[in-house]
Structure 1
Amino acid sequence: MRGGGWDEGKLEELRYIYATDVDEVDEGRPVWLMHTMGHYGVANSVALEMAGITAGTPDPPGGTIDRDAAGQPTGVLKESAMGLVTRLIPRLGPDQQREGIRSLAGAFNAECMTGGKDPGITQDTWDAYADVLADGDLTVRIFALWSALDGTIEEVRAYAERLAAFTRPYESTGDDRLIAGGVKLYIDGSGGARTAWLYDDWNRESTGTDTGNRGYPTMDPDELRERFRAYHDAGLHVGMHAIGARAIDWTVESIQEALAATPTRGLRHSIIHSNIPTDHALDAMAELQRDWQAGYPEPSPTFTWWIGDTYAGNFGPERALRLNPFRSYQARGIIWASGSDFFVTPFPARYGVWASVARQPLLGVYGDAPYGTAESVDAETALRSFTVWAAHQLFLEDKVGTIEPGKYADLAVWDRNPLSVPTEELRDMVCEMTVFNGEVVFRGEPVVP
């Protein structure tokens, strides 16, 4: 049995779900429940036994087995440790993948959305997208990033060369419906699991300290930098997942070093999430964008909302104020491409537009404004981050993202004007019609005031 979406920040006890909690209702079946952030989850005792996880099981490289005071596994597994259990779960079959894609495309259209980036896919997912496209049911534009290869550096270089033969969006985006865009890499974990790579200790419950825990890189940073170089040298666009300040600094420096060694303008390397960049990182992003068309943040504004209570507790009062520093981006001339990181947060873009302006957590466990408003932007800027700036990171800014002659007619019709309504109404906007490629793919019921 598998499920997901839990978040300790939404529970009264503000604690993880443990194996002992699930054991009470599992009826003897193995259970895996993924956390909403996707970087940790909980296995029940049956699943732990099947995976051979005991008090003597060491933490795998780049992962953590959560343990109680007696050293016994609690069932919570973080980062690479999740694989000890998830490797036992059967993958979705082709029919299930195709049905999921069709369903999600329709759900996107019902929210006035016509495009998305799917980072970290494998060949079977690509094939499922291609099948749905061939059937005429892919009513969103998909820009896919391939999963990185887990192998030797020689194998990675060979893999990069194979991908580069057909993954060059700066030369061609094909039919503009399903685009092989690049590769996704990870340098660190998450703010929820407190595994993202920081310079200082993580917080607990906002003002407490998780002493000695500054997160960690997913692998040896020098080795990962060499892998990044292999993809860059092959001419591939790379999206690097980086949450913590130290991870973001490492990422922009890796991009700078790669460009110094192999100068290639226009690859548009991105920093996925880019939660709490330092001033050093912000200055580097501005320079990289200006000189190389690289170093683009791809944040999820809804992190301050949907997972905002857990984040506020873990980042602490000072770091929380820097989370998603949109005003600082704007001041430096940095553009960014916003998304939801679905399933981490709900996918409707209206939530992200609202969160970019309001910066309010869902429940207010640590106050109504732990993120402040100094890094807020106005609704028009937020919309740009979900439209033309997002299109830029799909290599489609000349074809979608604005309403202009010669571009595809991908249009959204809302029940109100997002540029004039009060901030609190942004998240309540209702999609009345969605046009994709000149065809109406969604028409809602008229809303009577």
Structure 2
Amino acid sequence: MDSAFFYDYPIRKSMKGMVAMTLLTNGRIFLGTGENDFAKDLRFADGKVVETGDDLKPAEGEEVIDAKGRLVLPGLIDAHTHPKYIADALHGVACTPPDVNSIAEMQAALRHSPAFGAGKDVWIEGWGFDETKLKEHRSPTRADLDQVSTDQPIFIYRSDCHSSVGNSRALELAGIDRTTPDPVGGKIERDDAGEPTGFMREVAATQLLIRAKSAQSYQADVDNLVQSSHHYLANGIVAIGEMMGRKKPYDSWQLYTDAVTRGFLPRTTIYYVFDELKDGAALSFKATDQLRVAGIKVFMDGSISGETADNTRPYPDGKRGVLLTDQDKLLAAVEMAKAAKVQLAVHAMGDAAIQLVLDTTANLTPWLSETPSVRIEHASLLTDAMFDQINRAKMNYGLVTQPIFFFAEVASYQAFLTSSQYQEIYRVKSMERSKALVALSSDAPCTPWAEPDSVFYSLYAAVTRRAANGEVVGPEEAITVGTGLLAYTKDAALMGGFEENGTLVAGKNADFVIVDQDLFTIDPTEIKDTRVAETWVAGQRVYQRAVGEGN
């Protein structure tokens, strides 16, 4: 479907040619200024909020929209996500439960991909597999994927989006054979004979396949990103943080610039991967209200579910994880971020990796004042001692965390962590009590869940602490609905530098969402079933849920 259908709305104007005022009335409007701040009416014009109140009277000729008592939220912000990956996933195959539970079912799903049989240059793509959830308890190999096709290249992301697997054709296009050296920070898995199995461990190895795929069709990547706009609007997400900005095989800035020109709507900040930057000058782009470069991304380690997060205690199989960035490299990234006056976003999942970040940066002077200079992405394992260090630190920290991880991956966390570590996962309430700014986000599509960036599944997990299997994880770390929504609105805006978003107060962008049930009054177990009824961006309705529409 042509994505322009969803947001190509004309600007409403008065008879005198001025942009007309609009009054949204009879709503339960969560202002985002505090967890208990509400109003009934919202007036906006020319893309901005004009005023809010409880008894605003319509002006002559003003359009009035009845919210019919529904809950209205500031436009939701996913401060840590991977839009390029999501754009790929939306036209790819979900290799996740409940539909895919074995390699045989994965093969069948890939054969039903619209790309299957579309031509030898068309990539068949999938996402979301987790070997611990597959019947075979192993990752698929190129031999498994070759049973689907040897003519078309096949690429599948693991659930963490760090690792992946390709078939023989994909390896061929990427120039990967038995003589290809492992990239720094990654590993090309090989069989006993030294031949690549197709499994590419960690980001550096996965990028070898991604570059081959993206280099083949830049325009297809632009098209996919444009078409993904509806996905965000349908989920009430009006602003996103792209956490995998790249310079190869093309510049992410160009990708987003071209997509915006074609109609991609979410406001976007880009964080460039440090390993692809040679100097801070590479970050100099002319920012707009919709697109700007906000930071530099550093990978300290891998993922817990992939047994590559750097932990102080080894995993059951004896592995400790991987450390991808040492102190010297981290300090070099700090200097680049400081020179460019952007944030440093540090991926750190394991407790050893997080501790190294804190020890390296705690006593440094912040270089940004309006937003955290250092963001710790995921912050999966935080001890009381770490919170004490954050609270004493000179550095101004942001903690960007994902409750959807323990919701979807609880079995992996139970299997791979010690009992004491398990008690320290995703301590959202303790984060909120700390000095650090806290935002909730998805890291989508990097988790084995069919709706990885649903704000309402994330909010459900944060409020109830229930995982998908019903297990309650650290109930003492549960937060309120209001706190969770602030972490997706006001605090997420501060975290990602979306200065004009996050709250519905005079002068801010008239970006808001109407949902189909009141999150503050329903039973918390129903939060995950919430759906977006309407999404508005700059005072224009850009999405309206059709009767019976699914996500």
Same fold (TM over 0.5): yes
Task: Report deviation, 1:383.
Answer: 1.0
Residue identity opposite 1:359 in structure 2: R
Higher mean displacement: 409-418 or 37-46: 37-46
Residue aligned with 1:440, SS: strand
Task: Report deviation, 1:320.
Answer: 2.6
CA distance in 2, matches of 1:85, 1:138: 26
Contact 2:177 2:195 in 1 (8 A): no
Residue identity opposite 2:506 in structure 1: P
CA distance in 1, matches of 2:177, 2:412: 27
Relative to structure 1, the CA distance from residue 6 to residue 113 in structure 2 (aligned partners, 3 Å threshold; closer, same or farther) is: same
Task: Report deviation, 1:247.
Answer: 1.0
Contact 1:19 1:74 in 2 (8 A): yes
Contact 1:415 1:447 in 2 (8 A): no
Relative to structure 1, the CA distance from residue 327 to residue 92 in structure 2 (aligned partners, 3 Å threshold; closer, same or farther) is: farther
Task: Report deviation, 1:44.
Answer: 3.3
1:78 has 2:201 as partner: yes
Paired residue for 2:432, among 285, 310, 330? 330
Residue identity opposite 1:282 in structure 2: F
Paired residue for 1:131, among 243, 258, 261? 258
Question: Where in structure 2 are the equivalents of 1:29-428 lying within 5 Å?
Answer: 29-45=152-168, 47=170, 51-54=175-178, 59-66=182-189, 74-79=197-202, 80-91=204-215, 93-122=217-246, 124-135=251-262, 137-150=263-276, 156=278, 159-163=279-283, 165-166=284-285, 174-202=287-315, 209-211=316-318, 213-259=319-365, 265-266=369-370, 268=372, 269-288=374-393, 292=395, 294-345=396-447, 346-362=452-468, 364=469, 368-369=470-471, 371-397=473-499, 399-428=500-529
* Residue deviations 1:24-57 (CA, integer Å, cap 9, x gap): 3334554332212111112335555774444x87
Q: What's the TM-score, normalizing by structure 1?
A: 0.83
Q: What number of residue pairs does the alignment pair up?
A: 416
Contact 2:371 2:495 in 1 (8 A): no
Higher mean displacement: 15-24 or 111-120: 15-24
Partner of 1:170: none
CA distance in 1, matches of 2:364, 2:210: 34
Relative to structure 1, the CA distance from residue 374 to residue 9 in structure 2 (aligned partners, 3 Å threshold; closer, same or farther) is: farther
Residue aligned with 1:101, SS: helix
Residue identity opposite 1:98 in structure 2: V
Residue identity opposite 2:299 in structure 1: Y
More RCO (CA 8 Å, sep 6+): 2
Residue aligned with 1:192, SS: coil
Task: Report deviation, 1:296.
Answer: 0.5
CA distance in 2, matches of 1:162, 1:68: 40
Percent sequence identity is: 25
CA distance in 1, matches of 2:215, 2:295: 23
What are the ranges of 5 or more consecutive residues in structure 2 without an aligned counterpart? 1-122
Relative to structure 1, the CA distance from residue 131 to residue 82 in structure 2 (aligned partners, 3 Å threshold; closer, same or farther) is: closer
Contact 1:34 1:42 in 2 (8 A): yes
Residue identity opposite 2:271 in structure 1: L
Paired residue for 2:147, among 24, 27, 30? 24
CA distance in 2, matches of 1:183, 1:402: 26
CA distance in 1, matches of 2:431, 2:320: 25
CA distance in 2, matches of 1:90, 1:400: 32
CA distance in 1, matches of 2:267, 2:147: 44
Relative to structure 1, the CA distance from residue 112 to residue 90 in structure 2 (aligned partners, 3 Å threshold; closer, same or farther) is: closer
Contact 1:192 1:314 in 2 (8 A): yes
Residue identity opposite 1:358 in structure 2: T
Contact 2:227 2:264 in 1 (8 A): no
Contact 1:194 1:215 in 2 (8 A): yes
Task: Report deviation, 1:201.
Answer: 0.4
Relative to structure 1, the CA distance from residue 264 to residue 437 in structure 2 (aligned partners, 3 Å threshold; closer, same or farther) is: closer
Partner of 1:171: none
CA distance in 2, matches of 1:57, 1:139: 40
* Residue deviations 1:98-132 (CA, integer Å, cap 9, x gap): 32232222211112221111122236332232234
Task: Report deviation, 1:336.
Answer: 1.0
Higher mean displacement: 267-276 or 431-440: 267-276
Residue aligned with 2:237, SS: coil
Contact 1:271 1:295 in 2 (8 A): yes
Contact 2:303 2:349 in 1 (8 A): yes
**Higher Cα Rg: structure 1 or 2?**
2
Higher mean displacement: 7-16 or 103-112: 7-16
Q: What's the TM-score, normalizing by structure 2?
A: 0.68
Question: Where in structure 2 are the equivalents of 1:431-446 lying within 5 Å?
Answer: 431-445=532-546
